[in-house]
Amino acid sequence: MAQGQIRKALSGYYYVYDGKQLIQCRGRGVFRNRGESPLVGDIVEYTVETAGSDGTIQKIMDRQNELVRPPIANIDQGILVFSVKEPNFNTILLDRFLVVLESFHVHPIICLTKMDLLEDHEREELQSYIEDYESMGYIVLQTYKDEEELVERLQPILKGKSSVLAGQSGVGKSTLLNTLIPDLNLKTGVISQSLGRGKHTTRHVELIEVCDGLLADTPGFSSFDFDEIEKEELGACFPDMARVAEDCKFRGCLHLKEPKCAVKAAVETGEIRDYRYKHYEQFIQEIMDRKPRY
C-alpha cells in the first residue's frame, strides 16, 4: 500500500500528500466502528483502485501526539502568540498554555507581539520575564508591527517542523499567519465581518508548506484546560520544576506539603520563580477539583 500524510480534511474527504500530489481519499468504515478518525497530520496507508479515482485510507500509523482543538496529529511545536499590550502580557495564561503543550509533548515557542507599544519601564519589567522563560529552555521571539525581517527570523524555527499557532483573540495570530502565508487573505476574504465572527471560525484544518516546514492554517487554540492531565503528571510539565524534582525525598512528591521537597526548596532560594510555583499550586488545585470521569 502507498503511504502519505493527510494535509487537509474537508466535508468527509481526506487529502493525502504522497510526496508529489494530493490524493482525495475516504476513510474505511471500520474506523467509525472503532471510534477512530483520521486526523490532519496523520501518516496513513491508502489504496487507489484505478488511476484518477478516489483513494481509501486503510491504516493510520502510530501518532506522536494528538490534539483536540484543532483536531490535528503529529505536531512538533506550538507557537504561542502573546501580545505584550492590548491585551497585556499574562504569565498565568502563558503558563497554562505551556503546561498543556508540554503534556502533549509539543515543543512550545513563545512569540511576543506588539513590542513597539511598550514604554521603557514596561520593557524592563518584561525583559525579566523573558530571561526567566529563556532560562527554562524556551525560545522567546520578540516581534514588532510591520517587521520586514519576521519571515526570515521564523525560517529556522519552522524549517522541517509541523507547527500550530495558539493564543488569545487579538494577540496577532491572524497577522502572523497572513505574514507567513501572503495569499491567506485571498482565501479567507471578509465573510465574517457581517456575521460578527472571526475570519477563521468556519475554516477547515489544513497543513500548508511554509518556510520549509508545515504550518496549520487554523486559528489554533483560544483557551486550554487540564482535562487530560493528572495531578501526578503536572510537575513534569514545568521544566524548571522537573529539573530539581528528582531530588525530592519522596517518590511521587506533589510539591505541596511533603517534607524535604526539592522544588519548594528551590522556590525559597529563587532558583524557581515564586510566580511559577503559585501557578503550579493553582493548576494542581484545579485538577484535584475536577469532577471524576466515568
Could you tell me which residues are annotated as the binding site for GTP?
113-116, 167-175
Buried b (16+ CB within 10 A) or exposed e, 180-214: bbeebeeebeeeeeeeeebbbeebebbbbebbebb
- Where is the binding site for Zn(2+), in residues? 248, 253, 255, 261
User: Phi then psi for 223, rounded to 5 degrees?
Assistant: -155, 155
CA-wise closest residue to 151 among 207, 97, 111, 98: 111
CA-wise closest residue to 108 among 82, 153, 139: 139
- Where is the binding site, in residues? 113-116, 167-175, 248, 253, 255, 261
Unique residue bearing C-alpha cell 528528582: 246
Q: How far apart are alpha carbons 57 and 250 in whole angstroms?
A: 48
At 77 the three-state DSSP class reads: strand
Q: How far apart are alpha carbons 21 and 24 in whole angstroms?
A: 10
Longest dimension (CA), the chain: 68
**CB atoms closer than 10 angstroms to residue 262:** 19
CA-wise closest residue to 24 among 46, 43, 42: 46
